[in-house]
Amino acid sequence: MQVDEEAVGAVLNRLRRAQGQLTGVIAMIEAGRDCKDVVTQLAAVSRALDRAGFKILASGMRQCLASGEEGAPPMTEAELEKLFLTLA
């Protein structure tokens, strides 16, 4: 799936933010921080990754339905649904 160039920047920003948050979670665990704080930050990482995934799917949806990759047949509705459900 090809991601729209405009969406690439947004996706990369979200992934970099998630990477920073994950680094923070690791540091919190190593420092013995409160479980509630760690879980709160871990949930933020999870949401950031989900949003990046949804952005990738949303921006590539038109191409997936129209042509597929490199001459491959277009994705079926079932295949698209499976992609969405992997993020749920």
CATH number at residue 20: 1.20.58.1000
Work out how many domains the chain is built from and give that number. 1
Q: What is the DSSP letter of 1?
A: -
Distance CA 24, CA 43 (A): 12
pLDDT of residue 29: 96
Burial 23-36 (b: 16+ CB within 10 A, else e): ebbeebeeeeeeee
> pLDDT by residue (tens digit) across 27-73?
999 999 999 999 999 999 999 998 888 888 877 776 666 655 566 67
Q: Residue 41: which domain range? A: 5-87
